Amino acid sequence: MQNIIKIAVVGLGYVGLPLARLFSTKFETIGYDLNQSRVDMLMSGHDATLEVDDALLQEAIHQHGFRCTTDLEQIRECNFYVVAVPTPVDENNRPDLRPLWGASETVGKVISKGDVVVYESTVYPGVTEEECLPVVEKVSGLKFNVDFFAGYSPERINPGDKLHTVEKIKKVTSGSTPEIADLVDDVYNAVLVNGTHKAPSIKVAEASKIIENSQRDVNIAFMNELAKIFNAMGIDTHDAIEAASSKWNFIKLSPGLVGGHCISVDPYYLIQKAQVYGVLPRVMFAARRLNDGMGEYVAQQTIKQMNKKGVLVKDANILILGITFKENCPDIRNTKVVDIYSTLHEYTSNISVYDPWANPLMVKREYGIELSSQDVEQMKGRFDAVILAVAHRQFLDVNVRDFLKDPEHGVVYDVKGVLDRSYIDGRL
């Protein structure tokens, strides 16, 4: 195996770019992506996802020689390939492996004898060895574990999180042979502050990632179910959680919308694979159904509050604050706020969505929703109901009731449970 590691990161999204930038501090690193406009923006020193600060990106480019490209030939001389492409589901919630297959073809076109390919994309156990590496073999003409080798190190990027950044995350690593497992572990350890956990096999490493996100999905589903029960009983769910969390071993979570590209997607990969082995994952199925229905539930709860206050729902003016899948982050992937919008749209077309973090063009292209271009002052005194869907910091500095036409009879619904209870009419 080569003594000098030269890294190519395939896929420069929320996962690939931060990792590539970090690798560039210790190794010669090239980022590869199919999107030319994305590459051009990165090479200008700006990351539109806001995952890498411009100063850090520019330092990587100018001081560490990091570069991004759409030219496959520029990564041919690399010997350590890292694949970090999306693993979505289709309209029937079945795993869509096309991005992984495409990335594996890309690697297969440039990989050489002795090289290593490491996958970071979240998958069910077995995908790396059963789905990806055969593609690399076919395209390259090389034999796995004879001519080239592989590893798996599941991504743990948390979009928008400036505390648990990639260099501080403890990473799981693995390799296709004991020697390659050591190599992969050494490469990641060279750039990580908190080190690694070396798994005994690629499949174990794959399974560990699915466990992480499926566990959170199930736990949040339980909280969402409690919210439905307690709302029906007239009990404030957050008060009940605060009381319960006084016990030392209580796991404190909150109810909410479960969107994004991880928790709301990854469990479907294990659900499908489990059924292949004759196991019906009932708990995971139920959690997914419950969490996927929370957007509609929020809309119905808002309508209920409007009816209580005598606010006519038909053709009402409603403001939704936030459309990204989480606070203080521009990521709109698989956001469940659109389910709130769609349910309310059955009653009124007068719905405004305001989000200072989201890209209006991307929202329009992905969901067909026009974001409001008005500022906070222009929106005051215009709406019959306001839903705080995302807890962006900008929304915490205003009195949301100021957006209502009639502050006394209008409705404010707090999805996130972060607003002063004295001026909200309902919350999860």
Nearest to 155 by CA among 163, 147, 166, 146: 166
Other beta carbons less than 10 A from residue 105's beta carbon: 15
Q: Which of 141, 150, 92, 96 is closest to 122 using CA atoms?
A: 96
Active site residue 262: yes
Residues 358 and 175: their CA atoms lie apart, in Å, by 38
HSE-CB of 48 using CA atoms within 13 angstroms: 16
**Total H helices, total E strands in the chain:** 15, 13
**Spatial contact of 50 and 329, defined as CB atoms under 8 Å apart:** yes
Query: In sequence order, what are the residues at sequence separation of 6 or more whose Cβ sits closer than 8 angstroms to the Cβ of residue 318?
Result: 302, 344, 348, 350, 351, 352, 383, 384, 385, 386, 387
CA distances from 213 to 264, 265, 328 (A): 8, 9, 21
Distance CA 263, CA 216 (A): 7
CA-CA-CA-CA torsion for 307, 308, 309, 311, nearest 10 degrees? 0
Identified catalytic residue from 68, 132, 262, 329: 262
Active site residues: 262
